[in-house]
Structure 1
Amino acid sequence: MKILGIAGVLRRKTTRTTVADPTAERFPDRIQRAWSQAQRPDQWWVADFTYVHTSSGFSYVAFVTDVFTREILAYVVDTRAMKSLVIRALRQALALRQRQDPYFESAGVIHHSDAGVQGGFNR
């Protein structure tokens, strides 16, 4: 949206979905937020999730994006925010790439996600 010069509309106070736990064990950030330095597809994948307020309540959406192509590789929607939401989206992205290319190897892909609440789900 930033590239296209558009912004979302804020109608009321927003809620944070990312609350890092400074005491939690974290994997090293191998990308260092150098998003513009991706050099090829399937080099870096980013996972995140958000919530959407609907007429029947909140829905949670997890997605995996290829940093180089900016393509959303997978997304999963659920009525509950659980750790499996992000994991299911990552599995879906892997399955997509394997369908597109039977020789695809995930060994070269770096998966990045923030240290937000999705790491703390215990369900």
Structure 2
Amino acid sequence: MVKYALIESLRGEHAVMKMCRWAHVSRSGYYKWRCRRPSDTELRRFEAERLLINLFTRFKSRYGSPRMTVELNECGLPISENTVAKLMAKQGLMARNGKGYKYFPDVLARNHVSDNLLRRNFQASKPNEKWVSDITYIKVEKGFVYLAVIMDLFSRKIIGWSLDTTMTNQLIIDAFKMAVASRDVEPGLILHSDRGVQYRSWEYQQLLLDEKIRPSMSRKGNCWDNAAMESFFARFKVEALYAEDVTTKKEAYSCVFDYIELFYNSHRRHSTLGYKSPNHFESAYEKMSA
């Protein structure tokens, strides 16, 4: 509903009760709309748009709607050329035809990155509803190592992480695969990140598409849109990294493993969780839901 979407976009600027009164809608109706699961139609449209963008990028902007329709159909997505043309127009996708074409080096960088689905709402009503991800660096004797992390906002639990000497697509892919392997992923899950090139890569985006995960990205240059991850990295560095003399990748890995797996998830008490650890908080939820 348009009125509910408008209220959602203005959360934090005005009181929800006042906006509902101005829009002549009920608060209960608004909150019910916020918690709704995406419809099958919304999920199909989302999947079509994501697959279209992925294929358009793979073929380096060479295909217009007729050829893109064939590609989509051969990928098992029945869709008409007219629908493809509308989706391409909506996303600003234009094939390189003739001298009038204006080249943009990264189509994916211009599409979907502005869709900040999280909107700084770091609360979740259940596990696997909202995940956030980010990358940080760790200084070692011979340069840096990079740490990619995925957090479930429901419990603030770190469900996937990866450490390497290079900040490649594989770094976040390994963290993502760990997260998916350890959780029950359902269509509609939001995974929020920044606009980094790794998160915009075709390989990573395809993994999200395969799992029917909805990508969300921070606004350009706005680190507070991913404040939960920023907070985690700050605590990790203060509580673990700065207290140790880390000089090698092996020592960095040991530091990260000890902090995340042996302390943070199992024992660290969070004020947002009623001073329970992530594992304790999830266990309590499972008992109540049984």
Band the TM-score falls in, shorter-chain normalisation: 0.5 to 0.7
- Which structure's relative contact order is higher, taking Cα pairs within 8 Å and 6+ residues apart? 1
1:24 to partner: Cα distance: 2.1
**Which residue type is aligned with residue 31 of structure 1?**
L
Match of 2:124 among 12, 22, 38: 38
Q: 102, 107, 112: which is aligned to 2:187? A: 107
Structure number with larger C-alpha Rg: 2
1:50-80 per-position Cα deviation (integer Å, ceiling 9, x unaligned)? 1100123200010100011001101100000
**TM-score for the superposition, normalised by structure 2:** 0.30
Q: Kindly provide the amino acid, as one letter, of the partner of residue 193 in structure 2.
A: S
- Counterparts of 1:89 and 1:80, CA distance in 2: 14
Structure 2 counterpart of 1:80, one-letter code = T
| Kept after mapping to 1: 8 A contact 2:127/2:155 | yes
1:91 is matched with 177
Q: Distance in 1 between matches of 2:140 and 2:111?
A: 33
What percent identity do the matched residue pairs reach? 37
Residue of 12, 19, 24 corresponding to 2:109: 24
After superposition, the Cα gap between the structure-2 partners of 1:94 and 1:121, relative to the gap in structure 1 and judged at 3 Å, is: closer
Please give the secondary structure, in 1, of the residue aligned with 2:120: coil
TM-score (norm 1): 0.66
Instruction: List 4+ stretches of structure 1 deviating above 6 A.
Output: none
- Distance (whole Å) between structure 2 residues aligned to residue 59 and residue 107 of structure 1: 33
2-structure distance, mates of 1:106, 1:92: 16
Report how far residue 95 of structure 1 moved: 0.5
Give 1:63's aligned residue.
149
Pick closer, same or farther for the CA change 1:32–1:26 going to 2, 3 Å.
farther
Structure-2 change in CA distance of 1:85 and 1:33 (3 Å): same
Displacement of 1:88 = 1.6
